[in-house]
Amino acid sequence: MALINNFILVRFLGLCPFFGVSKKLSNALSMGVAVTLVMFIATVATWIINRYILMPFEVEYMDIVIYILVIASLVQIVEMAIKRTNLTLYNALGIYLPLITTNCAVLGITLINATEAYSLLESIACSLGGGIGFTLVLIMMSGIREKLELADSPRSMKGLPVALLTAMLLGLTFLGFGGMI
């Protein structure tokens, strides 16, 4: 999940933070950790809700509305919890924490778990793998982009286009992992 089915490079999930936050290495790390944390908690919460509320009442078609509400409120709670317990971490995460609500990777993982009908353990493994893969790629990308800022690229390629091409090269390398298993 972390390498072969990488969320960003292979499934196109979480592209907004990938291009938005990957300009500085320190921000990328905070964002990656925050997303992984929320993905893990959201996976556990939505799995329980799916199994014990949606399925018994046969209202699985409501999953999108329920999941997004659960994720939004979870993000709020996590934000408050971090603010009370660890102010340094809270300041480091800053604006990125509330933005996770609209991160496709988080809603994506809950929907994948639901459609693949994973067990709780499988879902957790899937979410952690996805989160670690997300963090890994975010860190790699930001490291490369910090160097790219100094490179002498053509004017029309500067910024986003060259970042997209970098993502292509990273994606090609990650495709190589598919052959390893």
Partner 1 sequence: MDNALGMSVGVTFVLLGSNIIISAIRKIIPNIVRIPIFIVIIATFVTVVNLVFHAYVPALYESLGIYLPLIVVNCIILGRAEAFASKNPLLHSIADALGISIGFMLALLIIAFLRETLGTGSLSLFGVDLFTLPILGEHPIAVFILPPGAFLLMGLLLALFRRLGVIKGD
Instruction: Report how many residues bind partner 1 under the rule CB under 8 A.
Output: 39
What is the distance between the alpha carbons of residues 2 and 126, in angstroms, rounded to a whole number? Answer: 8
How far is it, in rounded angstroms, from Cα 95 to Cα 44? 24
Q: Which of 48, 62, 87, 151 binds partner 1 (CB under 8 A)?
A: 62
Is residue 61 within the footprint of partner 1 (CB under 8 A)? yes
Q: Which is nearer to partner 1, 77 or 157 (CB)?
A: 157
| Sole window of 33-41, 101-109, 129-137, 139-147 interacting with partner 1 (rule: CB under 8 A) | 101-109
- Does 55 contact partner 1 by CB under 8 A? no
d(CA 110, CA 125): 12
- Spell out, one character per residue from 142 to 171, where the chain touches partner 1: x when CB under 8 A holds, - when not: ------------x-xx-xxxxxxx-xxx-x
3-state secondary structure of 62: helix
- Residue 12 φ/ψ region, left for φ over 0, alpha for ψ in the -120 to 50 degree band, beta for the rest: left
Tokens 């102010």 map to which residue? 87
CB contact at 8 A, 39 and 107:
no
Q: Is 64 in the site for partner 1 (CB under 8 A)?
A: yes
Interface residues toward partner 1, by CB under 8 A: 9-13, 16, 61-65, 68-69, 72, 101-104, 107-108, 111-112, 115, 154, 156-157, 159-165, 167-169, 171-172, 175
